Chains A and B, each alone.
Chain A
């Protein structure tokens, strides 16, 4: 992982501005309620808030006590209450209860609700219905994007995935559009916008409308981001369903990275919060690596470290003094990080061994390539019977369904029955939800679509077959994974052992067995500067693609910015995808450089070089897995974002996108 910046690597835009903007606005809003006040914070805003403004900043602005918004009465005694919340009906009722309780007891307090990222009419409605609308003041904290890392931005909207893809609720599209507007105004104007998916299209169109209305004077500014790529999560569920094997992905699977942080359980059973980003020197070197190479790297590192410590031997006093004052601190720091990651590796190993990780990966690869379906199905069945892990079982079932265009009816019923017996009948609703978003479905009676398709195409001309296929497509949203995989050659042909240490393509993030579809699309589109030549694939992906070039500067003219690409995943993305995009960035960066150096080759490659990946990272497995919902707790999942990868130096940069779970 060469992390030294190459000469022609464009510097990533400074996403810190986003943080500063958010902080300033929050401070302004807090000052709107002068005097001491208690602040109630929605639990899932806690972590993002912490990264924007810590407790001491809040205290400076006369925040007295902090409370979580939860389902019990607030013990606060302050005369001014400020609520920092997501626009959710549930929360509104909570606030209304507090206000009404105060009214009953004749207490007179001031209430202020700050909605983030924006206020919804439905919330005001609820306040009105509960009769407290006149008692509270409302404000919006336009905090749309949280930079999680140098190259990752997230919207931190956990419910995005569920609301949009499952419930068909479009309310967050507006937020996405506003987030795009923000990015465009700070780092744009973007000269090229690509996208695929319904949500992406709607967001894009809404954003254009917003731009038109605002008449911002974007002209004349030097853009820092030239390209943006929007993609719906449902364009590629497969990638999100695969087990992750790059280090960062595994850490997420095991400990769950939340808002760029994870909880590390130390030996003493105490857990501490650790910030994971490019600042962590060790982490930044292994985050994108295949897990198999991580251990070797860490042990090499620890030997080096030991050697450095060992230099103490035989130092004279002066040298020793130097060593202590200058190097020791760094070494200690490194030591701490090293032991942290080694500890993490051990936990991962332990957990994965317990779950027959190897077997599972094997089954996944079989599913991706489409052989041994029977064996895989039995494996999944056994997996369920043995209650190995509810979420993993569900994930495998979905993967089976989506790669096969649905389960055959017999398996569909029996797997579900098994699952209900193992994990409880409430999952009946889970299955219903999964079916609705097309993750776990039943094949239409008899044959698969592909079977019909191939038979039909033998009979009639290609064009007619295309039409018939369209007709089939319109019947149901099919994943068509097999066909897409063939079309885009997602399964690499391997001659001999795949070299995981120095990979040649993005497939390394899945041990060389599969190139993530989402990243492949991004690569292809950027390379072609549009969708030409991808018509067939687009059709299989259910269309809704678009591309816009807005007077894009010609090759070279736009400078480095034209090589910065933000990839926005609407509905979250996985760390594997981030890693793949970072790899792509590095790879293309190099190509670009060559092109320039040699003066000949393929200038446009050079252009698409650097990319930022965008939206927020997904931290972990795709959400779908946690799609199930337990009816009782009515709980919501957590969401996650998207990721980006940035070009050249292998660091990734992202912008946020929402992803959500459950």
Chain B
């Protein structure tokens, strides 16, 4: 701490400047910085570098390489530059890279060298080319100004709302201006340019010559000009080494300085602190750096600020960053609070408090003395505030800590010191220290941080895809987390894809958890996209339901083939939607519909009816009624249900079913009468069995009536009647029946049925009436082999003869056999 002020350099009486290293650059740059196109974004932003841009070396195998580094020199991205010749690089306020080409096209890339879009600075530029270009920031946004080969200026104040303005011509301009700058005054953007010893101001309509007030007439030609970060101040450097500093309005001179260096500086930038009275510019030449301000003295590189290598200056609102191949430094005016405390032999309350605290730690009674001293002056609150404030300006955490410790110590002796400022500072420093970490590489100062605001900082972290840090910061500062994950310039699809790219199918990673998180943050669409990567549908569906994407959940569930999931969704939908919509939803998903039907079939039959009603499925409605008719106990109920079914079948144009059901109703009614009349169960018999039972019970009339009423086909009726009669043993009736008219089924069935009932006698009666083709079979059935043989011989049919022969037994039927054999031999001879 003793040499704390070792790197302080006084400028005049009041001000001290110091330069300290932010990072050792790790970028392993081989090229000279000045051989590259360089652009570094303000507020500790990233650095863009275009290597090999020099036109002359352009050989096909050395393409320019566009690289983007963090402020600490970590490579963020790089691409070979394949587009046209670049004139200038620049950063927009939202940290997009602008690449201005010779032909006036401006290409916009993001931090990771991903192309976003492009626009053109006008057709005129196509022929004339862009000689120089500048990127500037105004309250309207990021602007671009170009100087064309015809020495005309064009500019746009906001690249997001592109309006090209062509500035008026500068009369008599035959060569490029020696230097120029974009100013903004009263919301008007103007260009200031210097040609030799003349200064011109270009506004929208006119070009006027201006002279800075108090400018020494012998100052010489302008070589360099610099506009301060806030556009309030302007500095001019002439070829006599003279520096004029004044307001940008050119109405007032602030100070002047003679550097005595006549060579044109590489760069000149303002280095002021907001609210500081001190104005200073930093001028850089090849190997030295000079800070010049309102003083006869200056801080010269020869003593203090030697540049060992090419350096590049980046203006910041409260200082200047100095970039070189190996290091990254910050040069700024030491803020008042720090001065007060650390200035050698300072007796400021803050300084005393710091001392007091140090003594206190050493357990020395001096602590009390110091403290008393402050207290006597009643300056303790000021002392505490001073320490807190100074902590903010310190880059080294150790120094920050000791200042905060002092503040904390002093606080104890103040009644009701409001704690907010202390807490706030601790938090802010913690955030700042973490983003200054070289892995992150955003060297924001406290002042810049406050101007940038935490929201913008979070956005930038997110833009750099430093999500975990952003989330941590949100958590730490108790900000709604939404800000942490907000990914404004990427579609949900891209984000989801990016996440997938990073995680792949790593085991143990659950996409549904990530999605749930996204949903909690209000990113429903993103959550849905993320779920696409979730292989287990079981995990997708519940979340989708939670997000009220029931229909999507339904199709996911169906895709999964897991019916449990489908049920889950269906029953969820059932509660969520009104009945009509619910049914409509199901109609579009046959799989879900049939599952739900299955469920209803067992659990809610009435719902089933509604379902069919909904889509006018009359066929199913008919079936439904038929089905329910069987659960009706009373005949009337059954008939009613069946009648409903008939109506539905007609509506379904299924006349067959309607007719059949009508017949069923008729039959049911009839069966009830029969049941009453004969006191025997008839209900639920089929028509066939009903008639059959009637005949068996001897109700031939009734049977006849049914036969006619139901138009039973003759064949069936005959089959039915003879078997019924046979089982009743009513052979007489059967014979009568057989003679009633010609049998539609022939007479073989009569034989068969009689034989079946072991009545050969009856069977024999019918055998002769059997058609000749079947007669042999009939005779065999009744056991009359002789007649069978005769019939077979008559037909001259060898197969039949063989059949009869096979039935003959040698002992009893020798005569028949002999006859057959003879006939067969005869047949074969022929």
Contact = CB atoms under 8 A, between A and B. Distances in A.
B567 A420 contact: no
A422 B691 CA distance: 10
Interface string A574-609: 000000000000000000000000000000000000
Contacts of A421: 686-688, 710, 712, 716
A632 B687 CA distance: 18
Contact of B595 (A170, A202, A213, A418): A170
Given A213-B536, A425-B664, A429-B627, A167 B619 contact: no
Contacts of B630: 426, 631-632
Given A425-B686, A428-B660, A631-B630, A89 B599 contact: yes
A432 B623 contact: yes
A93 B566 CA distance: 21
Contact of B594 (A167, A215, A413): A167
Contacts of A213: 535-536
Nearest to A202: B561
A424 B716 contact: no
A385 interface: yes
A537 interface: no
Contacts of A426: 626, 630
Interface string B242-262: 000000000000000000000
B598 to A, nearest CB: 5
Most buried by B among A90, A173, A425, A631: A425
A257 B426 CA distance: 83
A120 B535 contact: no
A417 B627 CA distance: 19
Contacts of A202: 561
Contacts of A327: none
A209 interface: yes
Contacts of B565: 121
Given A89-B603, A215-B507, A125 B567 contact: yes
Given A169-B563, A418-B716, A422-B688, A429 B591 contact: no
Given A209-B535, A428-B657, A631-B626, A122 B716 contact: no
Contacts of A417: 660
Contacts of A169: 563, 594-595, 598
B656 A413 contact: yes
Interface of A is mostly: helix
Contacts of A416: 656, 660
A657 B783 CA distance: 51
B599 A422 contact: no
B736 interface: no
B154 interface: no
B684 to A, nearest CB: 7
Most buried by A among B566, B567, B568: B567
Contact of A125 (B560, B571, B719): B571
A168 interface: yes
B602 A90 contact: yes
B455 interface: no
B730 interface: no
B60 interface: no
Contacts of B437: none
Interface string A383-394: 001110000000
A541 B82 CA distance: 56
A205 interface: yes
Interface in B512-529: none
A174 interface: yes
B180 to A, nearest CB: 65
Given A129-B603, A167-B594, A215-B507, A432 B619 contact: yes
Interface residues of A, number: 47
Contacts of A163: 598
Given A209-B535, A420-B686, A631-B626, A122 B660 contact: no
B684 A424 contact: yes
Interface in B678-719: 684-689, 710, 712-713, 715-716, 719
Contact of B667 (A121, A212, A425): A425
Nearest to B598: A169
Contacts of B507: 215
Interface residues of B, number: 48
A508 B664 CA distance: 45
A125 B719 CA distance: 53
Interface of B is mostly: helix
B719 A120 contact: no
Interface string A512-530: 0000000000000000000
A107 interface: no
Contacts of A125: 567, 571, 599
A170 B564 CA distance: 10
B818 interface: no
A281 interface: no
Nearest to B664: A425
Given A425-B667, A432-B619, A171 B563 contact: yes
Given A428-B661, A631-B630, A206 B561 contact: yes
A215 B507 CA distance: 9
Contacts of B568: 121
Contact of B535 (A90, A126, A129, A212): A212
A425 B595 contact: no
A167 B535 contact: no
A382 interface: yes
A425 B661 contact: yes
A418 B564 contact: no
B688 A170 contact: no
A24 B336 CA distance: 82
Given A428-B657, A432-B619, A631 B602 contact: no
B672 interface: no
B213 interface: no
Contacts of A126: 603
Nearest to B538: A213
Interface in B704-752: 710, 712-713, 715-716, 719-720, 723
Contacts of B686: 420-425
B644 to A, nearest CB: 14
Contacts of A122: 564, 567, 599
Given A421-B716, A423-B686, A631-B630, A121 B567 contact: yes
A170 B684 contact: no
Most buried by A among B560, B566, B595, B723: B595
B567 A120 contact: yes
A171 B568 CA distance: 13
B80 interface: no
A591 B560 CA distance: 43
B562 interface: yes
Nearest to B630: A632
Interface string B318-339: 0000000000000000000000
A662 to B, nearest CB: 14
B669 interface: no
A120 B571 CA distance: 13
Given A421-B710, A631-B626, A170 B561 contact: yes
Nearest to A432: B623
8 contacts: A120-B564, A174-B564, A206-B561, A213-B536, A417-B660, A420-B660, A422-B687, A425-B664
Interface of A: 88-90, 93, 120-122, 125-126, 129, 163, 167-171, 173-174, 177, 202, 205-206, 209, 212-213, 215, 381-382, 385-387, 413, 416-418, 420-426, 428-429, 432, 631-632
Interface of B: 507, 535-536, 560-568, 571, 590-591, 594-595, 597-599, 602-603, 619, 623, 626-627, 630, 656-657, 660-661, 663-664, 667, 684-689, 710, 712-713, 715-716, 719-720, 723
For the complex of A and B, list the 5 residue pairs with the smallest distance between their C-beta atoms, beginning with the closest. A89-B602, A171-B563, A168-B594, A424-B686, A425-B664
Given A209-B535, A385-B716, A426-B626, 13 more contacts: A121-B567, A125-B571, A167-B594, A168-B591, A169-B594, A213-B536, A421-B716, A422-B686, A423-B688, A428-B661, A429-B623, A432-B619, A631-B627
